[in-house]
Amino acid sequence: MSTVFRSIVKTALGVVARRSYATQATSARINRKVDYEKTPILYKTEKVARDAYGLGSDGALEWQNLNQAVCNAMHHALKTDDNVILFGEDVAFGGVFRCSKGLADEFGGTRVFNTPLTEQGIAGFGIGCAAQGMKPIAEIQFADYVFPAFDQIVNEAAKFRYREGGVRVVMPRSPSQAKGMLISSILNCNDPVIFMEPKTLYRAAEEFVPRDAFSLPLDKAEILKEGTDLTVISYGQPLYLCSEAIQSLEKEIKGLSIELVDLRAIYPWDRETVLKSVNKTGRAVIVHESMLNAGVGAEMAASIQEGSFLHLEAPVARVTGWDVHPGLVFEKYNIPDVLRIYDTIKRTLNY
Amino acid sequence: MRPVPTPASATVTQHVYPVRFKSTDSSSPSYQPSVSQRDHSDSVNFPGALNSKFTSTMVFQNPAEKAAMSTYRIMDADGNIVDNTRDPQNAPDQVITTWYRNMLTVSILDIIMFDAQRQGRTSFYMVSAGEEGIAVGTASALEPEDLCFLQYREQGVCLQRGMTVKDFMAQLFANKDDSGRGRNMPVHYGSGKHKIFTISSPLATQIPQASGAAYALKMKRMIDPNVKPSISVCYFGEGAASEGDFHAALNIAATKNCPVVFVCRNNGFAISTASIEQYKGDGIASRGLGYGIDTIRVDGNDIFAVREAMIQARKMALAGNCKPVLIEAMSYRVSHHSTSDDSFAYRAKREVEEWKRRDNPITRLRKWMEKKGLWNEDKEKEARASIRKQILQEFSAAEKMKKPALRYMFEDVYEEMTPDLKAQMKELKRLIETYPKEYDVSPHEDGIKGLNQ
C-alpha cells in the first residue's frame, strides 16, 4: 500500500524589505536575509543542474519554483498511472499554494477533487484507497492541521504492513529535489510517505529542474558541500541559512572547510551518510526549526555519539527552536537564524 | 461476567458481576431497563431505539425526498417585517442603532485592515463582509457571563461584547497591549474580561471545548446555586462542521445535557470549496436532529431573526436539566476567505457583486431603520466618517507601539518557567549581547532588558 500525504510545512515568513512587520536589523552583517537569487543550494545555471542530475549537455530543463515542481511531479504521476489520484481541501481550483494548478481540468474531477474539510477523513480515505490498490496523494493543507489525522497515520497507515515505523517522512530542499522525491514517493515507493513541503520555498526557490521525470531515493541524505573540519546537518529551509553561515565563517577563517549535509529523509534517516561524515570531520552541528526537546536533532545526536564517539572532538550541538510554541511576534528570535548557526559552529570548532 | 482472581486461600473461582457503573444499578435514575422483546408488541425494545415501532413495509428513508428545513426570518431583504408575531423591538431604538453602528464598525474595520495587509503593514487579515449580522445579532442576545468560543470570522461578536477598536488593533499589530502577547496571527482575538476564549487556527477544535465549558457552567451551578445561569456559545462555519470534532462535540453535548448553543455560519464556502462539495445532506441543521438536538435554521442576513433565535435558544438551553441547541445561520461569504485568497479564482466576480448589492445584513437593518425614521443619509455619512476616523486613529497609535517584551516568548509555556527555558532565555540574551549589530531588539518593550531574569 502506498499513500503520499503531502503537507505544507509552516516555516518562517520569507522576509521582504517592504513588509514593515518583519524586518532585519539594518546593521546585520551575518544575520542577513537569505538571498534566494544567489544561494548555492539552488541550481541557477543549466550546467550546474545538468551536472547535479547526471544529464547530458542537451538534457532538457525547466526553470521552476517549488510549487511548480511539485505540480509537475504530480502531473507526471497522474499521467503515467491511472491509479494515481489527488485529493484534499481546495485542490480542485489549483490549491492554496498553486501546487495542483490545472490538474483537475486535465485529469477530471474523479481523479483530482476537493474533499470536505476533515483531515482525519482525508487520511483515512487515503489509506482505504491505497489498501485497495490505488496510489492516492492525500494533501493536508498545512502541517499544523495534520493532528486530527494522527490516529490514522500512526495507528493505521504506519501499521498496515507492520514494519518498524511504517511511515516515511521526507522533506525536499528545492524544486528539483521535490520533483524527484515526489515522483519516487508516488510511483516507486510502496510505503506510506509523508511528503513535507516548506511553504516559504514555494515561490522563493527557483531553479533549473530536469524536464523529464526522474526519481530520487527516499532513504538517502545528500552531501551538498564537502568539507573536513565540521559537519552541519539540516533539512528544509534552514539549509539556506546554514549555507549563509558557512560562507561567512569560511570567509572569516582561512582554510576552514565545513561539510553540509541535507538529511532529506527525516524518518527513517540515513545514519550511514551522517556517521561517515562525522567520523571524517569529528564535529557535528544539527539545525532544525522544531523545538530542542525530543526533536529530530536529539535522536541524531544520540546516534552520533553512539556511532562516532571516539571520533568526536566536541559535543554534538543542536541549533533549534527554543522549547516554546512558535509565537508570531517572536518568530525571528525563535527559529534558528544565520547568526545562531554561525555562533554554534564557531563554538563547536573552538571547543 | 468474568472470573475474578481470588486469594490463594479460596478453592473455587468466583464469578462476580462487576458493578462498576451506577447505570447498571437498577435503583439509579439513569438506569434504563433492557427488558427483552415482548411477543406481539408493536414497539421496539432494543436499547438503541426505544421509541421505534415495528413496520412490515420495507422503506429506505431518502433524505433527498424530504423537504429541506425552513429558514426562519422576521424581516425581508427590503427591511419589511414579515413575522408579526415576534416583536423585533424587544430592544429600544437606541440599542438597535448600536447594533447597526457595530455592524458598520466591523465592516469599515475590515476594509481598512484588508488594505493594510495589501500595503504590507500587517501580515494577515480576514474580512467578515456579509456576516456581520450573524455575529452582532447573536451576541446582542447574550449575557456578559456567557462564554464565547469563536472560529475566526466573528469580529462582530467581539465588538458587541464590548471589545474596543483599540483592543482589536493591539492584537492585529501584536503590540505590547495585546492580551495574547503577540503570540498569535492577526484576527486571533481573545478576551478574559469579555469571556471570549482566544481563537486558535485549527478548525472545529473549539466545538467540543464549548460543550465541556457548558458542562462546567452547569456543574458550578450545582455546586453553588447562587451562580447566575449561563451558557456557552460556539461559532463555526459549515466547512468546519465536516471535522470530526464537530460530531464529537454535538454528541457529547446532547448525551450530557450541556447548556451550549452552537451557531453555524453557513456562508456557502470553505476557502474554494462550495457547500455543494462540503456535504450532501440538508446543511448542518439536519445533523442537529441526528444528534437529538433542537435545531433551527435562520436567515443570517436578518439581524432580528438571528437575535430572536438566540434569545429563544438561550432559554431552551438553560431550562430544566439543560440541553444543547443548534442554530444554522444562512448567509453568503462576500469576502475572500482571507488576505491569502483571491476568490475570483474559483467564483464569478458578478456573483459576489450581486450578493453585495442585493442583500446584506447592514443594508437590511438600515432600510428598516430608515422606514422607522431612526436613520437617514446624513446619519449614515456621519457614522461612517466618525467610525473611520476612530479606527484610523487607533490603527496609527497601535502600529507605532512597542511589541511585547522578549520574556513573553518563554513565559506561559507552563505556569512556571522550567529550568530549561530559563537557560534558553539566558542563552538568547548572551547571543544578542555578543552580536549587538546582528539584532535589532528596539521594537520590543524593554529591549534586551526584556530577557532579564
What are the pLDDT digits (tens) for A266-288?
999 999 999 999 999 999 999 99
Task: Please state, in angstroms and rounded to a whole number, the distance separating the CA atoms of residues B334 and B321.
Answer: 40
Interfacial A residues in 250-289 facing B (CB < 8 Å)? none
- A178 pLDDT more than 80: yes
Please tell me whether residues B436 and B315 are part of one structural domain: no
Bridge-based pairing of strands B273-274 and B269-270 is: antiparallel
Residue B27 domain flag: no
What are the contacts of B386-393 at 24+ separation with CB within 8 A?
B387/B101, B387/B104, B387/B105, B387/B108, B388/B108, B388/B112, B390/B165, B391/B105, B391/B108, B391/B109, B391/B112, B391/B165, B392/B112
Cell numbers standing for residue B73:
426570518
Please tell me whether residues B128 and B194 are part of one structural domain: yes
Among residues B360, B380, B400, which one ends one of the domains? Answer: B400
Quick count: other Cβ atoms within 10 Å of Cβ B353? 11
Q: Which CATH number covers residue B158?
A: 3.40.50.970
Interfacial A residues in 45-84 facing B (CB < 8 Å)? none
pLDDT above 70 covers a percentage of chain B that reads: 92
Q: Which residue of B has its CA nearest to A32?
A: B438
Among residues B384, B400, B416, which one ends one of the domains? Answer: B400
What pLDDT shows up at residue B22? 44
Residue B125 domain flag: yes
Domains of chain A: 46-210 (3.40.50.970), 219-349 (3.40.50.920)
- B262 pLDDT more than 70: yes
Please tell me whether residues B168 and B220 are part of one structural domain: yes
Listed in sequence order, the residues at least 6 apart from B29 whose beta carbon sits closer than 8 Å to its beta carbon are: none
Interfacial A residues in 88-107 facing B (CB < 8 Å)? 89-90, 92-94, 96
Q: Taking CB atoms and an 8 Å limit, are A27 and B404 in contact across chains?
A: no
Strand ranges (DSSP E) for A226-340? 230-234, 258-262, 265-267, 284-291, 317-321
Which phi and psi (to 5°) does residue A318 adopt? -125, 130
Please tell me whether residues B369 and B412 are part of one structural domain: no
Q: Read off the pLDDT of each residue in B284-299 and give the average, rounded to a whole number.
A: 98
Q: Read off the pLDDT of each residue in B229-241 and give the average, rounded to a whole number.
A: 98
Please tell me whether residues B133 and B105 are part of one structural domain: yes
- B85 pLDDT more than 80: no
Residue B219 domain flag: yes
Please tell me whether residues B101 and B231 are part of one structural domain: yes
Cell numbers standing for residue A348:
563547536
Average pLDDT of chain B is 92
Q: Taking CB atoms and an 8 Å limit, are B270 and A117 in contact across chains?
A: yes
Residue B250 domain flag: yes
Q: Read off the pLDDT of each residue in B71-99 and give the average, rounded to a whole number.
A: 86
Please tell me whether residues B429 and B330 are part of one structural domain: no
Task: Please state, in angstroms and rounded to a whole number, the distance separating the CA atoms of residues A223 and A233.
Answer: 9
**Residues B392-423: tens digit of each pLDDT:** 999 999 999 999 999 999 999 999 999 999 99
**Residues B137-175: tens digit of each pLDDT:** 999 999 999 999 999 999 999 999 999 999 999 999 999
Bridge-based pairing of strands A61-65 and A206-210 is: antiparallel
What pLDDT shows up at residue B10? 45
Dihedral angle sign, alpha carbons of residues B184, B187, B192, B193: positive
The domain in which residue B420 lies consists of 406-451
What pLDDT shows up at residue A32? 92
Quick count: other Cβ atoms within 10 Å of Cβ A121? 18
Please tell me whether residues B355 and B430 are part of one structural domain: no
pLDDT above 90 covers a percentage of chain B that reads: 84
Q: Taking CB atoms and an 8 Å limit, are B122 and A21 in contact across chains?
A: yes
Transcribe A239-269 into DSSP letters. Answer: HHHHHHHHHHHHHHSTT--EEEEE--EEES-
Please tell me whether residues B119 and B222 are part of one structural domain: yes
Q: Are A283 and A348 in contact (CB under 8 A)?
A: yes
Please tell me whether residues B434 and B332 are part of one structural domain: no
Residue B168 domain flag: yes
User: Given the C-alpha cell 485592515, which residue does it identify?
Assistant: B113
Dihedral angle sign, alpha carbons of residues B42, B45, B51, B56: negative
Residue B393 domain flag: yes
Closest CA to A135 of A182, A88, A82, A70: A82
Q: Are A257 and A240 in contact (CB under 8 A)?
A: no
Q: Read off the pLDDT of each residue in B84-105 and give the average, rounded to a whole number.
A: 87
What pLDDT shows up at residue B169? 98
Angle, helix B93-118 to helix B361-371, in steps of 10 degrees: 150
At B180, the amino acid letter reads G
Q: Read off the pLDDT of each residue in B62-80 and give the average, rounded to a whole number.
A: 93
Task: Please state, in angstroms and rounded to a whole number, the distance separating the CA atoms of residues A197 and A175.
Answer: 10
- B193 pLDDT more than 90: yes
What pLDDT shows up at residue A160? 81
User: Nearest CA to CA, how far is B274 from chain A (Å)?
Assistant: 10
Bridge-based pairing of strands A135-140 and A112-114 is: unpaired
**Residues A238-251: tens digit of each pLDDT:** 999 999 999 999 99
Q: Are B218 and B259 in contact (CB under 8 A)?
A: yes
Please tell me whether residues B388 and B411 are part of one structural domain: no
**Residues B330-352: tens digit of each pLDDT:** 999 999 999 999 999 999 999 99
Please tell me whether residues B351 and B414 are part of one structural domain: no
Judged by average pLDDT, the poorest of A115-119, B29-33, B206-210 is: B29-33
Task: Please state, in angstroms and rounded to a whole number, the distance separating the CA atoms of residues B369 and B444.
Answer: 47
Among A144, A324, A339, the residue with its CB nearest the CB of B201 is A144
Longest dimension (CA), chain A: 60
- Whole-prediction pTM value? 0.89
**Residues A43-68: tens digit of each pLDDT:** 999 999 999 999 999 999 999 999 99
Q: Taking CB atoms and an 8 Å limit, are A339 and B245 in contact across chains?
A: no
What pLDDT shows up at residue A161? 81
- B14 pLDDT more than 50: no
What pLDDT shows up at residue A144? 94
Please state the domain count of chain B: 2
Q: Taking CB atoms and an 8 Å limit, are B243 and A24 in contact across chains?
A: no
Find the distance separating the first CA and the last CA of chain B, reported in whole Å: 60
What pLDDT shows up at residue B89? 64
B439 contacts in chain A (CB < 8 Å): 25, 28, 31, 339
Strand ranges (DSSP E) for B250-299? 260-266, 269-270, 273-274, 294-299
B418 contacts in chain A (CB < 8 Å): 323
Q: Read off the pLDDT of each residue in B370-398 and give the average, rounded to a whole number.
A: 97
Closest CA to B423 of A337, A326, A298, A322: A322
B406 contacts in chain A (CB < 8 Å): 330, 333
Q: Are A138 and A167 in contact (CB under 8 A)?
A: no
Q: Which residue of B has its CA nearest to A327?
A: B183
B405 contacts in chain A (CB < 8 Å): none
Q: Are A266 and A296 in contact (CB under 8 A)?
A: yes
Q: What is the DSSP letter of B218?
A: H
- B179 pLDDT more than 50: yes
- A99 pLDDT more than 70: yes
Dihedral angle sign, alpha carbons of residues B296, B301, B305, B306: positive
- A97 pLDDT more than 70: yes
What pLDDT shows up at residue A165? 62
Residue B81 domain flag: yes
User: Nearest CA to CA, how far is B105 from chain A (Å)?
Assistant: 25
Judged by average pLDDT, the poorest of A4-8, B250-254, B384-388 is: A4-8
Average pLDDT of chain A is 93
Residue B10 domain flag: no
For residue A40, whether the previous peptide bond is cis, meaning omega lies within 30 degrees of 0, is no
A31 contacts in chain B (CB < 8 Å): 435, 438-439
